[in-house]
Structure 1
Amino acid sequence: KLGSFIQDNGVIFKVYAPNAKSVSVVGDFNSYDKSKNRLKKNKIGIWSGRVANAKKGNSYKYFIQAKDDREFLKADPFAKYAEVKPNSASIIFDSSYEFKYDNPKKQENISIYEVHLGSWKRNNGEYMSYKDLTRHLVKYVKRMGFTHIELLPITEHPFDGSWGYQDTGYFSPTSRYGSPDEFKYFIDVCHKNGIGVILDWVPSHFATDGHGLIAFDGEALYEHPNPQKGYHPQWKSNIFNYDSDFVKSFLISSALWWIEEYKIDGIRVDGVASMLYLDYAREEGEWKPNEYGNNLNLGAIDFLKKLNHNVHKKNKNVIMIAEESTTFLGVTDKKEGLGFDYKWNMGWMNDTIDYFKLDPINRPESQNNLNFMFSYAFDENFVLPLSHDEVVHMKGSMINKMSGLYDWQFANLRSLYSFMYAFMGKKLLFMGNEIAQFNEWHYESQLDWEVLEYPKHQGVQKMIKDLNSIYAKEKALQYDNRDNFEWCNADDASRSIIVFERVYKNERIAIICNFSGASYENYYVPVSIAGKYRLIFNSDSSKYNGTDSNRKRVFKSTPFNIGRKEHMIEVNLTPLSVRFFKLQ
């Protein structure tokens, strides 16, 4: 074990720095005097020593002298706690928190609320603490019916503008919002309320700040020594050396630390595509092929397989999610592939948003693009992400991506969200998407909660709550295999209508999507089974501030041969709307 360890007779410090000439621990306990507490090196490069007067709460760093006599002050890579920025020292810490509640049971209706803790809500412009968030965020997420909170990285990071994606502390929750035990309390209360917690975790690259991992002992210890594999030109950060057994152990230990010490329910691994490919974000001549002559990073692939194996071996209910944007095969294959539980379906996200940006009059010619996403829906186990990445950097908020004027923008957004809940895959919404805020997300300020003074925004929020409730009840919407889906009508491109069924055993839900700007009376909807169909959801309902106030709820099928179906129900469709009909 590496790090700082409190004992009866002081604190033991251990740090791995095999290339260093000398190492001292400096801190509050010795006035940061490098000459007072020199550490001793063993045969494998671990420097250690005891400081009798060091105690819990003291800050400290390692003073490292490189072989060429360069000198560094480094934070402890294994620190459990760190100073609040802009300070950067580690803090001696030993947790006293005892969890009271078990992790929620694994479930099929995974609906994730993605959150940046520093900008969900604020107290008079200042960060909410872990305690504040425990009182307010957990209550909100439970009321809205989400099953999980996914936190943008809370591993310690020096720069707010990185949103947590350029880290220096892989074992310490950021002190911006409070102490490690206060973060544990937040997780415990989530579990009390049946909410799982997923951490966004970043093994793909790390910050270049001098107190961090870069050139830790004077040489490339954590990063790859070759800049073609050790520096990310797009993100201006260092890339871990996946060919190093020590680095693999460091990262896997970090993942297991959050799962076992903090009882985290899942990990979303950031930037998997950047890890898999040697030529990611590089031009010709800026990378070299591997030993087989291709562009795969074999060390990274080996690391990801070992990561998932170790996590699942010890924690069968923890879910591992890959943010992976390419066509790499087998991301969620447990036998021959990388071994993740889920992969973000970036293709679905891009194709769906592109479709809803179109004026409805132009949608018929793009119907094939809409239908195509069904062809790859079963290639992996997917999460459907409408994440933070889609509402930043001048991309526009979700509502501002929608075509049309004010009313149609909301009708389009309600249709998009409803389509997501009907489609195969687990669900993810970034905070603010559920209230249809017009501004992009800005990490420096809280969400635009004041928009909820307006009925259209209230309607979207209420609809998301209802969709989460329906998703929790209806198994036909929860299971995402090929036999849980049937096409009913994929050919009505001229009217921008698609009809499909979600199936689980004897349960069936017919999904009717009218993505055109026209209404259709007495529309024939093909269905597989004769019987009565109850309308259980309508995105255009007046209760969501839509236009449809029709109160008819039950529709009886009649024999009618439409394509491969032998029955149909006759319904009225309002523009830009999605309806769910459940077979009784």
Structure 2
Amino acid sequence: MKSSLPPIVENDPYLLPYADVILRRQELVRQRQSILCRGRKLSEIALGHLYFGLHKTPKEWIFREWAPNAMAIYLVGDFSDWKIDEAYSLTRKLYGNWEITLPLKTLKHGQHYKLFIKWEGGEGYRLPAYGNRMVQNEETKVFDAEIWAPSHPFQWKNPDFEPSSTHPLIYEAHVGMSAEEGKVSSYNEFTAHILPRIKKDGYNTVQLMAIQEHPYYGSFGYHVSNFFAVSSRFGTPDDLKHLIDTAHGLGLAVVMDLIHSHSVQNEMEGLGLFDGSGSQYFHAGARRLHVAWDSLCFNYGRPEVLHFLLSNCQYWLDEFKFDGLRFDGVTSMLYLDHGLGKDFTDYRMYYDGAQDENAIAYLTLANKLIHETHPSAITIAEEMSGMPGLATPLEEGGYGFDYRLAMGIPDYWIKVVKGLPDEQWDVGNIYYELTSRRGDESTISYAESHDQALVGDQTLFFRLAGAEIYTHMDMGLDNLIIDRAIALHKVIRLITLTTAGSGYLNFMGNEFGHPEWIDFPRKENNWSYLYARRQWSLAENSKLKYQWLQTFDNQLIALAKKSDLFSEKYTSLRHSDTPNQVLAYSRKDYLFVFNFNHAQSYTNYPIPVEPGTYKGVFTTDDLEFGGQGRVDNRVKHLTIGGTNSFGLENLMLYLPTRTGLVLKRL
């Protein structure tokens, strides 16, 4: 008899007590889809961007908006001399929708406009919820909607691009802070200067932050006001399309950092009080305000909100040809208390009724939609609680994300580097933390992302090097602190990538140990761009040691691609010697051996492996990476000794201090 339990439960006995909750959540997804679709496909209803907002047809302009609490709505703008005119009054339709049609000659590409909305007890100017272009007046700082209807639509040169790998090597990037100069960089500058760098470095995926329009630059793009609008700080919608098209021509996939976990509170720029009702898109009462983020929380149980967000997913994939979406703040969405202050050490914490099952239903529907309409697109969840099933296929009882970010790993590295002296680094614990993941999920590991470098924190390399980074990065200067920092930075990145489940991520500049932190212009720093840029010249200066870390990162990424390392999901632990701080594991035909000891090198150290011949590929101690060149990679190593009960022999190796070795079985 066939089991009625979802495979996720059959594969994990610890989930059995919660099978009813899992089944109930699946049923809720079916109910939500039924209510939304009424017999149609998700792809047929997630098209709000083609219905709402301003559209030019061969015969007329047509504008629609959903504002159920409104009593009257007017278009105002350049065309009306910014006056409220009955000729531009919208007509109320069914279900709280409003509409107006205008002759073609009335509106022109590039004109500015807004909505003026009246409701019982109030009125105000608003930006259209589905508006695809917002621009800010440099003097007044006020945002307007701009009519974006160029006479010559963008022509894609690579319309049929398909990602070359299912194992993303992600280069996380922020367009605005990608210039070396103290300024806001542009899509076109990123296309010309940064994309070739990413290609040269070997990464296969670009993850772009801060694409959706946000009124405050210092929010890093996470306080979104206009969900369908490309951030105009960096250029036009066509400029972004050119960036993506160029990336595709270089063989690079492009993933967008999508913000659906919350919205900025702003009323004139955003959705905070769009039609006079604070609960049009968001929760009412205590659940409306996110207590930690000073932002508004979407009501995922309202069909119109689901329609808005699902259409937003479809819009970015269809209109801009993004190759995937990285969903930000998923933990905050999953839990009624946003997961704040919890350590999630017990399965009950995932099924105790403190979860927002409407949000879970939305995320599941979003994944279903994306994979139905764009089969090659990937979805990535930024989630730290470890909710089971998040990155498990829908048909197995999961929520359908392709990947989960292994958020605990960078936090773990900070804890180790910040809190433990070198001699207390526990290699057994390191291996456990880097490899502990659910077998039914694909994960993406990283040593640090943008999160670890925001103001008030430090990049990994800066934390290792400290103030010496300012005085002893010259090639001709010897310094033990810098030597340690460089050695450990390489070892940490090597072990993080080679133990990763299915992919790897790096934030721009961190590959060469970018110093200091990230801090956007704000009142508190006198609106300085000093820390909101990337100092590429550090890595390109032949007189500085940053070049060693850059060269090492290139070799690291090349290894991941050449070896197809992630096609074998798991590593095999070969040796863990905590007292001596030696660790070894294998993956595919490769052997990785680490000596974390800061003072003791080992000669003829035995590592149990399959019998055969092994040759060095590279070590973190190689001269080209700023090491001491203590290992000769040309030497072939033959296993010796009789095989043990597991059929293994010993590989006798020289293991220098603070070094990681990569060997391949011939």
Q: TM-score, normalised by structure 1?
A: 0.92
CA distance in 2, matches of 1:239, 1:282: 15
Structure 1 SS opposite 2:134: coil
Structure 2 SS opposite 1:473: helix
**Structure 2: which amino acid aligns with 1:65?**
K
2:89 corresponds to 1:38: yes
The residue number in structure 1 matching 2:355 is 296
1:330-361 deviation line (CA, Å, top 9, x unaligned): 11111312110000111222223323443221
Alignment of 1:567-582 (within 5 A): 567-582=649-664
CA contact (8 A) 2:183 2:533 kept: no
Shift of 1:153: 2.2
2:218 corresponds to 1:161: yes
Shift of 1:524: 2.9
Structure 2 SS opposite 1:405: helix
The residue number in structure 2 matching 1:441 is 518
Say which is worse superposed, 301-310 or 444-453, in terms of deviation: 444-453
CA distance in 1, matches of 2:277, 2:369: 29
CA distance in 2, matches of 1:297, 1:8: 44
CA, structure 1 residues 523+109, in 2 after alignment: closer, same or farther (shift >3 Å)?
farther
The residue number in structure 2 matching 1:456 is 545
CA contact (8 A) 2:211 2:231 kept: yes
The residue number in structure 2 matching 1:376 is 437
CA contact (8 A) 1:114 1:431 kept: yes
**Structure 1: which amino acid aligns with 2:304?**
F
CA, structure 1 residues 216+480, in 2 after alignment: closer, same or farther (shift >3 Å)?
farther
CA distance in 2, matches of 1:282, 1:434: 31
Say which is worse superposed, 164-173 or 217-226, in terms of deviation: 217-226
Structure 2 SS opposite 1:218: coil
The residue number in structure 1 matching 2:127 is 75
1:404-444 deviation line (CA, Å, top 9, x unaligned): 71110110001011112211231101112112122112333
Shift of 1:11: 2.1
Equivalent of residue 171 in structure 1, options 207, 228, 231: 228
Q: Compare the two structures and name the one with the higher helix fraction.
A: 2
Q: Compare the two structures and name the one with the higher strand fraction.
A: 1
Equivalent of residue 461 in structure 2, options 383, 396, 399: 399
The residue number in structure 2 matching 1:498 is 583
CA contact (8 A) 1:10 1:55 kept: no
CA distance in 2, matches of 1:316, 1:225: 33
1:131-171 deviation line (CA, Å, top 9, x unaligned): 22111111110011111111112101100011110111111
Shift of 1:479: 2.1
CA contact (8 A) 2:114 2:145 kept: yes
CA distance in 2, matches of 1:91, 1:448: 34
1:488-544 deviation line (CA, Å, top 9, x unaligned): 012x001111100102xxxx1111011111343434343432211121121111100
The residue number in structure 1 matching 2:302 is 244
CA, structure 1 residues 372+159, in 2 after alignment: closer, same or farther (shift >3 Å)?
closer
**Structure 2: which amino acid aligns with 1:87?**
V
What is the alpha-carbon root mean square deviation over aligned residues?
Answer: 2.2
CA distance in 2, matches of 1:449, 1:5: 42
Structure 2 SS opposite 1:308: helix
Shift of 1:480: 4.8
Equivalent of residue 573 in structure 2, options 483, 487, 491: 487
Structure 2 SS opposite 1:316: coil
Alignment of 1:344-423 (within 5 A): 344-357=405-418, 358-364=420-426, 367-368=428-429, 370-376=431-437, 378=439, 380-385=441-446, 386-402=448-464, 405-423=481-499
Say which is worse superposed, 32-41 or 402-411, in terms of deviation: 402-411
Equivalent of residue 385 in structure 2, options 297, 305, 326: 326
CA distance in 2, matches of 1:374, 1:191: 32
2:337 corresponds to 1:337: no
CA contact (8 A) 1:558 1:567 kept: yes
2:76 corresponds to 1:26: yes
Shift of 1:379: 5.6
**Structure 2: which amino acid aligns with 1:39?**
L
The residue number in structure 2 matching 1:203 is 260
CA contact (8 A) 1:351 1:370 kept: no
**Percent of aligned positions that are identical:** 26
2:621 corresponds to 1:540: yes
Structure 2 SS opposite 1:24: strand
The residue number in structure 1 matching 2:566 is 478
CA, structure 1 residues 26+562, in 2 after alignment: closer, same or farther (shift >3 Å)?
farther
Alignment of 1:517-532 (within 5 A): 517-532=598-613
Runs (5+) with no aligned partner, structure 1: 285-289
CA distance in 2, matches of 1:486, 1:39: 66
Alignment of 1:125-144 (within 5 A): 125-144=182-201
The residue number in structure 2 matching 1:91 is 146
CA contact (8 A) 1:356 1:416 kept: no
The residue number in structure 2 matching 1:513 is 594
Structure 2 SS opposite 1:351: helix
Structure 2 SS opposite 1:64: strand
CA distance in 2, matches of 1:566, 1:282: 47
CA contact (8 A) 1:527 1:565 kept: no
Structure 2 SS opposite 1:252: helix
Shift of 1:103: 2.3
2:504 corresponds to 1:427: yes
CA distance in 1, matches of 2:218, 2:161: 32
Shift of 1:80: 1.4
CA contact (8 A) 1:64 1:72 kept: yes
2:250 corresponds to 1:193: yes
Shift of 1:280: 2.0
Shift of 1:232: 0.3
CA distance in 2, matches of 1:359, 1:90: 55
Shift of 1:45: 1.4
CA contact (8 A) 2:392 2:440 kept: no
CA contact (8 A) 1:41 1:47 kept: yes
CA contact (8 A) 1:202 1:269 kept: yes
CA distance in 1, matches of 2:421, 2:341: 36
Runs (5+) with no aligned partner, structure 2: 1-50, 343-348, 466-479, 521-528
Structure 2 SS opposite 1:158: coil
2:209 corresponds to 1:152: yes
CA contact (8 A) 1:497 1:512 kept: yes
Structure 2 SS opposite 1:26: strand
CA, structure 1 residues 352+370, in 2 after alignment: closer, same or farther (shift >3 Å)?
farther
CA distance in 1, matches of 2:188, 2:423: 50
The residue number in structure 1 matching 2:119 is 66
Structure 2 SS opposite 1:468: helix
Say which is worse superposed, 564-573 or 538-547, in terms of deviation: 564-573
CA distance in 2, matches of 1:195, 1:577: 32
Shift of 1:282: 6.4
Q: TM-score, normalised by structure 2?
A: 0.81
CA contact (8 A) 2:170 2:206 kept: yes
1:309-348 deviation line (CA, Å, top 9, x unaligned): 0000111110100000002111111131211000011122
1:158-204 deviation line (CA, Å, top 9, x unaligned): 00011110111111111111110111011000000001111101100
